Amino acid sequence: MGKQYQIIIIGGGVIGCAIAYNLAKLGVRDVLLLEKDAICSGDTAKSCAIVRTHYSNPLTCRMATVGRDVLADFTARVGGASGFVRCGYLIFSGPDKLDDFEDNIRLQQDAGAEVELIDPRQAVEIHPRLNPGRIAKAGFEPLSGYADPHLTTMGYAEAARRLGVEFRQGVSVRRLTESRADRVDGVETDDGVISTDTVIVAAGVWTNAVTATVGVRYPFEITNHKVVHFRFDQEYASDRFPVVRDLPGVCYSRPQDGGMLLGDSNLGDPVSGPEVVDESLPRDGAGHFLRNFENGFRGLEGARITSHWAGRYDVSPDSNPIIGGVPGKEGLLAVCGLSGGGFKLAPCIGIMVAEKVVFGDSRILPFDPYRPARFDEGEPFRNAYKGTGAMA
């Protein structure tokens, strides 16, 4: 008879590692994390790791604020480094849906996030290369920025290991096992069956491939998301330029290695399964990325693409995370539906899941509103941007 674990976590991305660390920190022993490949080899490795608190519901705004605070103080709170760069986050709206945008800024302020509503002149003072003609109003978050997804995930994994969590890499979970039709009690891996009280699935876009083995499917769609890196004749430095979210242009950008990362902020192109990723540039070459760049910025000469890549999003119907189990299936909990925004939320989700396991409920933030059943029960989160991009 093999060892019985209290918790098995499936997936060594930022979510699985943050959960592992927070469980161990709260004193949970016998935690095993299984990763089919290597730590931080999934979509966390593709992340732009932008950290902002702009959301159109107060709970996820608070989730992001907790995430930002942990990432900004990672060495003291977790250990290791997160690579957090506090360059600020500037989001702007055109005249369309301006009321919604201003409501969101007020909502953020009410939720305790530091953000200021500013006009185009102030936006250009903060970011002198922005094209003010596109800006009706902007929001500026001085405490936000971006981090490093590898450093952060490794930081969580190392801290969890120090506290006793066991990691097995290169071990794939083939299926979940059940003692009864309503009770998950372990996993079957390449190395055999391992028993546990609770399975936590943090397998990103692969979540349904795992949970479908016990007849459970979480409501998210998998999409392909491309990012390009530009360089210019002059340096695009993180101590001079904040992260920019261009709502009318449906794109975002941030400094990286003296150049700029630029991504579409649409929901991505649906793909047929978790193994599918299209890393090619769009058919028009870099055309639409360049157009977005030229519309949004001015005075950055010699733009040329230096690299590009793609990853997958697990997009939920309201673009907010899905966290929890499903009725009639004890011993199973999953985190998915992160909708292209899971990096910054991982520190808070890690705390929430650990508190749920240890105390029976999450103390830092309510757990129930994120339940998968919210869609069937007609209680999705408000999303002021539904239909206009990957923003919730």
Ligand X SMILES: Cc1cc2nc3c(=O)[nH]c(=O)nc-3n(C[C@H](O)[C@H](O)[C@H](O)COP(=O)(O)OP(=O)(O)OC[C@H]3O[C@@H](n4cnc5c(N)ncnc54)[C@H](O)[C@@H]3O)c2cc1C
Residues near ligand X (CB under 6 A) are 10-16, 34-37, 41-44, 46-50, 172-173, 202-204, 206, 210, 225, 227, 311-313, 338, 340-344
Q: Can you tell me whether residue 304 is helix, strand or coil?
A: strand
CB 338 to ligand X: min, Å? 4
CB 296 to ligand X: min, Å? 17
Phi first, then psi: give them for residue 17, nearest 5 degrees: -70, -35
CB 176 to ligand X: min, Å? 10
Q: Which is nearer to ligand X, 136 or 209 (CB)?
A: 209
- Identify whether the C-beta of residue 241 lies closer than 8 Å to the C-beta of residue 317: no
Q: Which is nearer to ligand X, 308 or 374 (CB)?
A: 308
Q: Which is nearer to ligand X, 326 or 348 (CB)?
A: 348
d(CA 218, CA 349): 17
Which residues touch 73 (CB under 8 Å, ≥6 apart)?
none
Q: Which is nearer to ligand X, 182 or 191 (CB)?
A: 191
CB 232 to ligand X: min, Å? 21
Q: Which is nearer to ligand X, 145 or 331 (CB)?
A: 145
CB 316 to ligand X: min, Å? 11
Q: Which is nearer to ligand X, 23 or 202 (CB)?
A: 202
CB 384 to ligand X: min, Å? 18
Q: Which is nearer to ligand X, 186 or 342 (CB)?
A: 342
d(CA 18, CA 153): 7
d(CA 270, CA 172): 25
Q: Which is nearer to ligand X, 134 or 226 (CB)?
A: 226
CB 271 to ligand X: min, Å? 12
In this structure, what token pair is assigned to residue 344?
Answer: 């910054």
d(CA 293, CA 157): 37
Which residues touch 116 (CB under 8 Å, ≥6 apart)?
139, 140, 142
Which residues touch 184 (CB under 8 Å, ≥6 apart)?
176, 177, 178, 198, 199, 214, 329, 330, 331, 332
Q: Can you tell me whether residue 262 is helix, strand or coil?
A: strand
Choose among 36, 14, 45: nearest CA to 169: 36
CB 119 to ligand X: min, Å? 26
CB 221 to ligand X: min, Å? 14
Q: Which is nearer to ligand X, 16 or 255 (CB)?
A: 16
CB 330 to ligand X: min, Å? 21
Q: What is the DSSP string of 165-207?
A: -EEEES--EEEEEEEETTEEEEEEETTEEEEEEEEEE--GGGH
- Identify whether the C-beta of residue 78 lies closer than 8 Å to the C-beta of residue 155: yes
Q: Which is nearer to ligand X, 67 or 331 (CB)?
A: 67
Q: Can you tell me whether residue 10 is helix, strand or coil?
A: strand
Q: Which is nearer to ligand X, 127 or 225 (CB)?
A: 225
CB 291 to ligand X: min, Å? 20
- Identify whether the C-beta of residue 247 lies closer than 8 Å to the C-beta of residue 92: yes
Which residues touch 286 (CB under 8 Å, ≥6 apart)?
228, 305, 308
In this structure, what token pair is assigned to residue 309?
Answer: 């890549």
Choose among 322, 317, 340: nearest CA to 223: 340
Q: Can you tell me whether residue 116 is helix, strand or coil?
A: strand
